[in-house]
Amino acid sequence: MTYAIAAAGTGGHVFPGLAIAEALERAGVARADIVFFGGDRFEAEAVPAAGYDFVRVELRGLKRSFALANFGIPLVVRDASRMVRNELVRRNVGALVATGGYVTVPAGWAAHRASVPYFLHEQNAHAGLANRLMSRKAVVAFTSFPDTEGLPRGVYCGNPLRTPFVDFDRGALHARALAHYGLDPDLPVLGVVGGSLGAGALNQVVHTMVVGWSGPPIQIVHLTGTLHAEAVGRLTNPQEIPWKVVAFETSMELFFAASNLLLARAGGMVAEITATGTPAVLVPGDFGSKGHQLATARFVEASGGAVVIQQADIDAVPDQVARMIGDPQLLEEMSDRSRALGRPGAADEIARQMVAVHG
C-alpha cells in the first residue's frame, strides 16, 4: 500500500512532510511506497533530494499562501484535484497527509473524492486557511500547539521533526558543529536564520548589528537563504567580527548545536528551536494567516524560552542580542524552558495513525 504526503511552498511545510515520510519508514513502510505531491517551489528540489517519489501538481496562478482570491481560478484547482485523484487511485494510496499551504486544498479534495482517508497537520499557533477549509472531512487535524486557533477539532501532537532532531544531543554534536563552521570554541555563537527562503529584514539587521557592535565578543553563523547569500557576503564588517555566511544548510542539527542564541523568524522552525532547547530572539514575519508567526512566537515567549521583537521594532534586535549573548545563566534557563515545549515524537504519532487507519 502507498502513503501520500502533500507538502509545498516553504521549508515550514515541506520539512514536516519529510519528517513524516521518515517516520513512515520507521513504521515499516518501504520508501518506494511513499509519494509526495507538491508544486514547483522549494519542494521540487528538497523532496527528490531526500530520495522520495515526487509528483508535481500544476498550480500556476495560485498565491504562495492559500487565500480566498485563489478561488477566482477554480479551473486550476479543479484540474489539480483531478490529477491528484487519478494518481491516488492509480497508486493504490491508503492514506494521505497534507501539511498546509497551497497544495492542501486540491490534495484534500482529491482524497475525499477517491475515498482515501486524509489527515492534516498545522505547524502554526493559528491555522492557515487551507487547513481550516479542509479540516471538516479530515480523519484527524494534528496541531503543533495545545490551543491552535481555527481548528476546534485539532489534536495536539507537536510539529514533526526529521530524524536528526528526534534524539538531538547538543553536547555530543557541539565540537563537530564548531568545526563544521570553523568557529572559535571560546566565543559564544549567534545563529541567524530566516527560514528556507531566507529573510531580508533579518539579514539587514544583522549587518547593522555587526557594524555598530558594542557588546561582548561574539561570532555569527548566518543562514541567509540562497537568494541573499551573495549580497550578504559583500556587506562591510569593519570590526571584523567572525561572521560565517551560509546560503543553505543541509545538516541543520549542526547549526543548532553550534548556536548559543538564535535570531530567527517564527515559522515551522520553532519546532527545531524547542526540540533543541535553543534560546531565541524571534522576529515574527508579518505575513500569512492573521499573523500566525506572532501567535507562535508568543507561545514560546510565554514559556520563557524566547524573546519576541515585532517587525516594526526590529531595530531593537542588536541591543537585545548584546544583553543575552553574554549571560550564560540566562541562556541556560531559557534553554531548559524551551526544551520543555518540544514534542520530538510528533512524526511517529502521525505515521502510526496513518498506518493504523487500515488496521
Residues 307 and 210 occupy one common structural domain? yes
Residues 95 and 244 occupy one common structural domain? no
Q: Is pLDDT of 252 > 80?
A: yes
What's the confidence (pLDDT) of residue 93?
A: 98
Residues 6 and 154 occupy one common structural domain? yes
- Number of structural domains (the chain) is 2
Q: What is the dihedral of CA 333, 335, 341, 345, to 10 degrees?
A: -140
Positions of E strands within 7-146: 34-38, 53-56, 93-98, 118-122, 141-143
Residues 128 and 239 occupy one common structural domain? no
pLDDT tens, residue by residue, 81-111: 999 999 999 999 999 999 988 899 999 999 9
More confident residue, 49 or 290: 49
The answer to whether the predicted template modeling score (pTM) of the entire model surpasses 0.95 is: no
Residues 90 and 189 occupy one common structural domain? no
What's the confidence (pLDDT) of residue 233?
A: 87
More confident residue, 167 or 19: 19
pLDDT tens, residue by residue, 183-201: 999 999 999 998 655 578 8
The CA distance from 260 to 256, in Å, is: 8
What's the confidence (pLDDT) of residue 195?
A: 61
- Phi and psi at residue 32, in whole multiples of 5°? -65, -15
Residues 187 and 225 occupy one common structural domain? yes
Domain that holds residue 100: 2-161+344-356
Q: What is the dihedral of CA 279, 281, 285, 289, to 10 degrees?
A: 50
Q: Is pLDDT of 67 > 70?
A: no
pLDDT tens, residue by residue, 6-24: 999 888 899 999 999 999 9
What mean pLDDT is reported for the chain? 91
pLDDT tens, residue by residue, 296-313: 899 999 999 999 999 899
Residues 199 and 267 occupy one common structural domain? yes
Residues 284 and 335 occupy one common structural domain? yes
What SS3 class is residue 184? coil
Residues 135 and 103 occupy one common structural domain? yes
Residues 6+ apart with CB under 8 A from 72: none
Specify the CATH number for the domain of residue 236. 3.40.50.2000
Cell of 208: 547593522
Residues 122 and 136 occupy one common structural domain? yes
Q: Is pLDDT of 66 > 70?
A: no
Q: What is the mean pLDDT of residues 31-39?
A: 97
What's the confidence (pLDDT) of residue 286?
A: 73
Cell of 111: 482524497
